[in-house]
Structures are given as structure tokens and as C-alpha cells.
Amino acid sequence: MMRAVVTLSDAKAAGLKRYFTGKPCKRGHVAERSVSAKACLACHSEKMRTKGAESRKAAVRRWREKNPDHYKEFYANSAAERERCRGRRKAAEASREDARQWRARNPAKVATACASRRARKLQATPPWQTEADRAAIAALYAEARRMTEETGILHHVDHIAPLRGRAICGLHVPGNLQVIPANDNLRKSNGWAAA
């Protein structure tokens, strides 16, 4: 595409910031030029790409030298924050390991809790549930598996109104089920959140 030639004087008269002569600069670029600096914009871009990173580093270095107290405070704060994050991660890992060890030491309690949940689920399944309802529930569990495989994020089928909530107990029916990420389901616990 050909650009229209605009001289420097015409660009100044029109109040433009750039002009185009159609002639190459001293480095061979045929590009627009800045009205204020009369510089080739391609040369300027090249300069910024090569020297820009160096000049930014130099500017940071100069700032550090002029403001040593601010730099030390910033560095100390960021190091302390990294240390706090590391501590939280270690605590979470220790908590998960404690839970694993507790489950290994108490298989009977784990089995009892699982059986209790299955019983609550059976009790929350109404006798009037149809084959279509059961197929819809199976489809939701299949959808959770599919989403887990596709995204790599574990998904659960959640009871919107929990089977054993503090204020409400829901039913095991398709209208009370939703597929959500496992973290959201575990965070919700047996709370009730309307869909």
C-alpha cells in the first residue's frame, strides 16, 4: 500500500505529529518521521528494542542508588512476603499429610462416614424418581468426568441444597445437582448456595 507523501511543512501546518517523505533515512528505512524530532520512526523503534531494555535497567540502577532506603524496604517486604507464602504452603502440605495419616490410621471411621453419606443419599432419593431422572443424574456425573478430563481440574457433582445442611436438607434429584470445580464444592461444604 502506498502512503501519501506529506512534507514537514505541510504536516506542521495541518498540526500532524508525523510526516512521510517517501525517501529512505540514513539507515535505509522508508518510514514515517516524527514532526517534533524529524527522526525516522523505524529507527526509533529499533533503538527502543535494542537499547530500551538496557536503559530501563540503568534507570532502575540509578533509582536504587538514589533511594537506598526505599529499595531496602521494598526488598525486605518482598522477601518477607515470599517467606510467609512458603510458610503457608508448608502448613497446608502438613495439614493434608495429617489428614492422609488420620485416614490410614482410622479406616473404620472413614468407611462409616462413607456409608453414612451413601445412606443419606439413598434416603434423599425420592420414591417418585423416574428412569429419566436417573438418566439425567448419570449424565451429570458423566459431564463432571468429561470436564475433569478436558480441563485437568477435578469437578464434582454438587447438591445445591445439601443432603444434610444446617438450615435445609435437599433431595438427590437432577434439579438439585450441578457440576462445579471440586475446590468450590469442598469450600462450600454443606452450606446452601442457590444456583
Count the domains in the chain.
2
Place of cell 502440605: 93
| pLDDT at res. 43 | 85
Task: Tell whether 93 is covered by a domain.
Answer: no
Listed residues 23, 39, 66: the one ending a domain:
66
Residues of the chain with pLDDT under 70: 1-3, 51-54, 75-76, 192-195
Q: 99-117, pLDDT tens digit by residue?
A: 999 999 999 988 888 887 7
Sequence-distant (≥ 6) Cβ neighbours of residue 42 within 8 angstroms: 25, 27, 29, 31
What sign does the dihedral 74-78-83-88 (CA atoms) show? positive
User: Whose CA is closest to 64, among 77, 73, 54, 51?
Assistant: 73
Listed residues 66, 81, 115: the one ending a domain:
66
Task: Tell whether 91 is covered by a domain.
Answer: no
| pLDDT at res. 51 | 67
Task: Tell whether 187 is covered by a domain.
Answer: yes
| pLDDT at res. 3 | 67
Listed residues 46, 66, 86: the one ending a domain:
66
Task: Tell whether 115 is covered by a domain.
Answer: no
Q: Which domain holds residue 135?
A: 129-195
Task: Tell whether 145 is covered by a domain.
Answer: yes
